[in-house]
């Protein structure tokens, strides 16, 4: 990938050499954070000076290395806490690291610059907002707002959003931001024929609208920071000077913008330690560049590379299975996981693979296994079902409900992304900052107040004409007689309400004010009167929102927090089976892992291969690797011969990943001849010798043949595609079926 910025020129540094600091102090070798580290870990922790790349395989103790390293730097008095920048991707990781460092070094942990890329960027941008055209109290938009805003921009440019979906352009803009590309960097080559070839203009207008609204989207947080650094060398120099030590977690997930950000900040002291695993790079589709990790040594000459390969999590069979699988990928930095702990031989099981007839049977089998585990004394919390895609969760949930096993599904709409929460938040935002035009639009007619398109258009017209925020414009508009009496009255009342609530900001505790707003606006009432099944849950969620407010000092800090930390407060600690996607499982571990749906098209996912080609397939394989390495003790991989997708039965082929698991570490449960079908139908690069007789036995079919199928009964072959037959069944209609499941009739 070409570099959007040329960083080869030295950026002038108006600050003179770093202020004097206390002499580094020797750290005793028996410091608590060094005890029990293996030699590689010790090297990663104690090599504090200069660039270090830590290639840490799954389960090799990277969080321990990161936290120990922080302790080492602090204890060695090499820097003050605020001179250390420690970056993670998720709030979860940031929280965990803060907690663990806190245990090692005490309150000093509080002063570290430790957080997600985005939260750290916000921290910097609030100080320098003017430099990028924002005010320091800028708001951060969620994806909903972003899309609505872009749609408006597109409509303003008379783009047919039916032909050119805003969603697609939004995606492109996000990818550009991921790569640090501002609108002026988007040439025709990049823009393509997106949005009728006008993508660059639309991107520019979108950015202008954001500035007018004093708002930034998530991508902007990085992008604006880069702009700040490049246009204000003094500001950059200040941060370069300040951050003597930089630590980066999950480096394989960094996008180009984050990479540039790090490279700029590390340029002075060059004490940057990146920890990552190229084999666990599973986010290329949202801009992550594995290339960043691959070229670290080029970017930081003289970098020390440490490989962590001792795995303290999984049994040897699981490690071998995962290693065998991932070995099928080209372009790896190359690591070999080896067991770092002794496993009780009586407890070590091979990875099990089992074929089943269809989705429901798969759920039944998995849940039976779960019950067996529970009988053996495993608690539900040690069990996870990791799926490729969200739609796979349903069958497991149904089965778990009927058997009464407690479970939780991680993922799905997050609390702060729910409609009712966003609406309520819009009320709070508008009261907190009346220029929040997006918030105004969202709720001005919610609950319905008889303000439709016409009224909103009128407000927009005034806003444009006077360059006022929407709320101000509305206040002006109701003074005129432009609106019909009914909407005019409604809008007058709405404006008066907002002003009244605003007047109470300082006088009323913010939780009470929020309650008052949700009540007096009629918003809660709206859901209470709603007959739909979800309505009561929504009312509950609104109550929960008010409760959450109580944890913050005021409305402002709450809104700030929510924008950045959009997460589910999953009530943990309860003994439940976890169902989540493979993506969601990265970084977690479980004693018992179920990996269902290993079928061609599902996993590897068809779209990943269609759109990503071989690179897409390799990323799917890394995902499989992530899945296997989540397990400490037991793995059961399943695949179904038939699956209903979009309510259509389709025959499925076992995933090619199954063929890639080393036989010596796998138990293949033979069941109903399904394994036969797997072996027979697996797509060997060249047909296996033993496959032929099986195929002959099954018989070759051709169109017109009369056949019989165990489940669907009699039918006639319509078409043959390799080992797949299209059959019109007498009772069941037209279906695609593997030839091994039918016999000549």
Partner DNA sequence: GGGTCCCCGTTTTTT
Partner DNA sequence: ACGGGGACCC
Q: Give binding residues for ATP as ranges.
A: 56-63
Find, among 130, 194, 135, the residue nearest to 166 by Cα.
Answer: 194
Biggest distance spanned by C-alpha atoms of the chain: 90
254 near DNA (CB under 7 A) = no
Identify which of residues 473 and 513 has a Cβ nearer to DNA in the complex. Answer: 473
Binding of residue 126 to DNA (CB under 7 A): no
The site map against DNA for 410-439 (x = CB under 7 A) is -x--x-------------------------
Instruction: Give min distance, CB of 423 to DNA, in A.
Output: 13
Active site residue 705: no
Q: Does 452 bind DNA (CB under 7 A)?
A: yes
Helix (H) or strand (E) holding 464: helix 453-466
Closest distance to DNA from the beta carbon of 151 (Å): 6
| Separation in Å, CA 674 to CA 358, 637, 661 | 11, 14, 18
Which structure tokens are listed for 110?
């509080």
199 burial type by CB count under 10 A (0-12 exposed, 13-18 middle, 19+ buried): buried
* Residue 474 · residue 444 · CB < 8 Å: yes
Whether residue 41 lies in the annotated active site? no
630 is catalytic: yes
Q: Are 93 and 119 in contact (CB under 8 A)?
A: no
CB of 389 to DNA, least distance (A): 3
Q: Which range binds DNA by CB under 7 A, 63-71, 327-335, 446-454, 649-657? A: 446-454
Burial 699-723 (b: 16+ CB within 10 A, else e): eebeeebebebeebeebebeebeeb
| Sole binder of DNA in the list 295, 607, 683, 706 (CB under 7 A) | 607
In sequence order, the 6+-apart residues with CB closer than 8 A to the CB of 388 are 581, 582, 597, 602, 603, 605, 623
Please identify which of the residues 178, 220, 250, 435 carries the catalytic annotation. 250
Residue ranges of the binding site: 56-63
| CA–CA separation, 174 and 217 (whole Å) | 9
Pattern of binders to DNA over 92-111, x per CB under 7 A?
x-------------------
Task: Please tell me whether residue 736 adopts helix, strand or coil conformation.
Answer: strand
Of 152, 227, 432, 581, which lies in the binding site for DNA, with binding defined by CB under 7 A?
581
The DSSP bridge partners found for residue 385 are 579, 594
Strand partners, 356: 640
Residue 390 interacts with DNA (CB under 7 A): yes or no: yes
Catalytic residue from among 42, 46, 47, 63: 63
Q: Does 611 bind DNA (CB under 7 A)?
A: yes
- 90 is an interface residue for DNA by CB under 7 A: yes
Give the number of residues in contact with DNA, rule: CB under 7 A. 46
**Binding flag, residue 116, DNA (CB under 7 A):** yes
Q: Residue 651 in contact with residue 607, Cβ under 8 Å?
A: no
State which of residues 31, 190, 389, 516 lies at the interface with DNA (CB under 7 A).
389
Say which of 630, 643, 656, 668 is annotated catalytic. 630
Handedness of CA 404, 405, 411, 415 (dihedral sign): positive
Give the interface segment with DNA, choosing from 32-40, 353-361, 575-583, 593-601 (CB under 7 A).
575-583
Tell me, yes or no, if 277 is annotated catalytic.
no
554 burial level (CB within 10 Å; 0-12, 13-18, 19+): middle
* Contact characters 633-672, DNA, x per CB under 7 A: -------------xx-------------------------
Asked if residue 580 binds DNA (CB under 7 A), the reply is yes
The residues, any chain, with a CB within 8 Å of residue 233's CB and separated by 6 or more, are 11, 12, 13, 14
Q: Are 547 and 352 in contact (CB under 8 A)?
A: no
Q: Which is nearer to DNA, 460 or 583 (CB)?
A: 583
566 touches DNA (CB under 7 A) = yes
Closer by beta carbon to DNA, 20 or else 162: 162
> Per CB under 7 A, which of residues 311..370 are in contact with DNA?
none
Q: Is 534 a catalytic residue?
A: no
Q: Which CB, 283 or 712, lies closer to DNA?
A: 283
Instruction: Tell me the residue length of the chain.
Output: 745
In angstroms, rounded to a whole number, what is the distance separating the alpha carbons of residues 727 and 715? 6
583 binds DNA (CB under 7 A): yes
Provide the minimum distance between the beta carbon of 649 and DNA in the complex, in angstroms, as a whole number: 12
**Token duo for residue 52:** 């270090």
Interface of this chain with DNA, residues 34 to 53, rule: CB under 7 A: none
Give, in order, the Cα–Cα distances in Å from 532 to each of 147, 250, 424, 525, 529: 27, 43, 19, 14, 9
Residues 227-246 within binding reach of DNA (CB under 7 A): none
Minimum Å gap between C-beta 711 and DNA is 19
63 a catalytic residue: yes
Q: x-or-dash pattern for DNA, window 134-173, by CB under 7 A?
A: ---------x-------x---------xx-----------
Whole-number Å distance between alpha carbons of 420 and 526 = 11
Is residue 578 within the footprint of DNA (CB under 7 A)? no
Q: Does 83 bind DNA (CB under 7 A)?
A: no
Q: How far is the CB of 221 from DNA (least distance, A)?
A: 8
Q: Are the beta carbons of 357 and 641 closer than 8 angstroms? A: yes
Q: Which residue in this structure is represented by tokens 């090799």?
A: 60
- Find the part of the chain contacting DNA (CB under 7 A) among 52-60, 351-359, 578-586, 633-641: 578-586
Of residues 180-219, those binding DNA (CB under 7 A): 218
**For residues 247 and 306, which CB has a smaller minimum distance to DNA in the complex?**
247
21 CB contacts (<8 Å, ≥6 apart)? 77, 79, 80
Annotated catalytic residue, options 280, 382, 629, 679: 280
Q: Which of 156, 450, 503, 537 binds DNA (CB under 7 A)?
A: 450
Residue closer to DNA (CB basis): 92 or 502: 92
Rank residues 242 and 581 by Cβ distance to DNA and give the closer one: 581
Radius of gyration of the chain (CA): 29
| Residue 391 touches DNA, criterion: CB under 7 A | yes
Q: Is the dihedral of CA 256, 257, 261, 262 positive or negative?
A: negative
Is the Cβ of residue 398 or residue 512 nearer to DNA in the bound state? 398
Residue with smaller CB distance to DNA, 451 or 498: 451
Kindly tell me which residue out of 119, 227, 254, 578 binds DNA, with binding defined by CB under 7 A: 119
- Check if the beta carbon of residue 59 is closer than 8 Å to that of residue 313: yes
Q: Are 724 and 739 in contact (CB under 8 A)?
A: yes
Which residue of the set 142, 145, 178, 249 is catalytic? 249
d(CA 178, CA 643): 37
Query: Given candidates 44, 66, 89, 319, which one binds DNA under the rule CB under 7 A?
Result: 89
C-beta of residue 425 within 8 angstroms of C-beta of residue 141: no
Q: Min. distance of Cβ 159 from DNA in angstroms?
A: 11
CA-angle at 476, arms to 475 and 478, nearest 5°? 70
Residue 281 interacting with DNA (CB under 7 A): no
Find out whether 353 and 596 touch, Cβ atoms under 8 Å. Answer: no
Positive or negative torsion for Cα 555, 541, 386, 615: negative
Q: Under the criterion CB under 7 A, does residue 572 sit at the interface with DNA?
A: no
**Residue 532 interacting with DNA (CB under 7 A):** no
Closest contact distance (angstroms) between CB of 119 and DNA is 5
CB 71 within 8 A of CB 112: no
Nearest approach, Cβ of residue 260 and DNA (Å): 16
Q: Is 285 in the site for DNA (CB under 7 A)?
A: yes
Dig out the tokens for 612 from the structure.
């990503």
| Binding site residues, DNA, CB under 7 A | 89-92, 116-119, 143, 151, 161-162, 218, 285-286, 388-391, 411, 414, 445, 448-455, 487, 564-567, 580-581, 583-584, 605, 607-608, 611-612, 646-647
- Active-site residue list: 62-63, 249-250, 280, 630
């Amino acid at each position: 990938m070409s570099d959007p910025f040329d960083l080869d020129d030295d950026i002038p540094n108006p600050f003179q050499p770093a202020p004097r600091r206390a002499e580094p102090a020797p750290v005793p070798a028996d410091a608590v954070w060094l005890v029990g580290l293996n030699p590689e870990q010790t090297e990663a922790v104690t090599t504090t000076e200069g660039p270090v790349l830590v290639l840490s395989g799954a389960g090799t103790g990277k969080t321990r290395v990161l936290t120990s390293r922080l302790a080492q730097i602090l204890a060695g008095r090499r820097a003050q806490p605020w001179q250390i920048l420690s970056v993670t991707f998720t709030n979860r990781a940031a929280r965990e690291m803060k907690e663990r460092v806190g245990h090692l070094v005490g309150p000093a942990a509080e002063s570290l610059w430790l957080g997600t890329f985005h939260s750290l960027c916000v921290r910097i941008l609030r100080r320098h907002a003017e430099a990028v055209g924002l005010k320091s109290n800028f708001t951060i938009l969620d994806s909903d707002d972003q899309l609505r805003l872009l749609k408006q921009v597109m409509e303003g440019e008379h783009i047919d959003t039916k032909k050119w979906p805003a969603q697609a352009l939004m995606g492109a803009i996000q990818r550009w931001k991921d790569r640090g590309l501002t609108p002026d960097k988007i040439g025709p080559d990049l823009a393509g024929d997106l949005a009728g070839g006008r993508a660059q203009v639309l991107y520019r207008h979108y950015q202008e609208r954001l500035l007018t609204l004093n708002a930034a989207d998530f991508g902007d947080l990085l992008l604006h920071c880069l702009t700040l650094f490049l246009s204000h060398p003094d500001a950059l120099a200040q941060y370069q000077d300040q951050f003597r030590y930089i630590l980066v977690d999950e480096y394989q997930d960094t996008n180009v913008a984050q990479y540039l950000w790090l490279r700029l900040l590390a340029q002075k002291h060059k004490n940057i330690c990146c920890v990552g695993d190229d084999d666990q790079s599973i986010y290329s589709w949202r801009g992550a560049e594995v290339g960043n990790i691959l070229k670290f040594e080029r970017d930081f000459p003289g970098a020390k590379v440490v490989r962590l390969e001792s795995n303290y999590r999984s049994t040897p069979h699981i490690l071998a299975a995962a290693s065998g699988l991932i070995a099928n990928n080209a372009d790896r930095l190359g690591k070999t996981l080896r067991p770092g702990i002794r496993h009780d031989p009586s407890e070590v099981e091979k990875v099990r693979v089992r074929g089943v007839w269809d989705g429901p049977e798969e759920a039944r089998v998995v849940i039976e296994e779960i019950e067996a585990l529970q009988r053996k004394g495993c608690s539900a919390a040690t069990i996870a079902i990791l799926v490729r895609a969200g739609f796979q969760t349903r069958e497991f949930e149904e089965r778990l409900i009927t058997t009464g096993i407690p479970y939780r599904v991680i993922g799905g709409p997050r609390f702060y992304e729910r409609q009712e929460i966003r609406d309520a938040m819009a009320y709070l935002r508008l009261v907190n900052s009346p220029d929040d035009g997006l918030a105004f639009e969202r709720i001005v007619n919610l609950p319905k107040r008889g303000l439709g398109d016409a009224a909103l258009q009128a407000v927009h017209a005034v806003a444009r004409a006077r360059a006022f925020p929407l709320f101000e414009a509305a206040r002006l508009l109701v003074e005129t007689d432009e609106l019909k009496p009914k909407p005019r009255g409604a809008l007058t009342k709405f404006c008066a309400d907002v002003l009244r609530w605003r007047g109470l900001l300082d006088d009323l505790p913010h939780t009470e004010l929020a309650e008052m707003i949700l009540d007096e606006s009629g918003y809660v009432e709206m859901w209470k009167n709603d007959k739909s099944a979800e309505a009561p849950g929504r009312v509950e969620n609104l109550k929960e929102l008010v409760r959450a407010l109580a944890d913050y000092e005021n409305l402002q800090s709450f809104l700030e927090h929510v924008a950045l930390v959009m997460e589910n407060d999953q009530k943990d600690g309860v003994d439940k089976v976890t169902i989540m996607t493979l993506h969601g499982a990265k970084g977690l571990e479980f004693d018992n892992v179920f990996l269902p749906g290993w079928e061609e098209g599902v996993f590897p996912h068809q779209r990943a291969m269609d759109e990503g080609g071989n690179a897409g397939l390799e990323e799917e394989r890394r995902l499989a690797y992530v899945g296997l390495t989540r397990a400490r003790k037991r793995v059961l991989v399943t695949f179904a011969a038939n699956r209903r997708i979009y309510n259509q039965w389709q025959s499925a082929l076992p995933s090619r990943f199954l063929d890639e698991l080393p036989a010596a570490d796998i138990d293949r449960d033979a069941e109903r001849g399904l394994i036969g079908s797997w072996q027979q139908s697996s797509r060997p690069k060249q047909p296996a010798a033993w496959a032929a007789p099986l195929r002959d036995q099954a018989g070759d079919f051709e169109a017109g043949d009369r056949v019989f199928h165990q489940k669907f009964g009699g039918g006639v072959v319509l078409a043959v595609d390799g080992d797949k037959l299209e059959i019109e069944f007498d009772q069941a209609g037209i279906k695609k079926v593997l030839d091994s499941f039918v016999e000549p009739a």
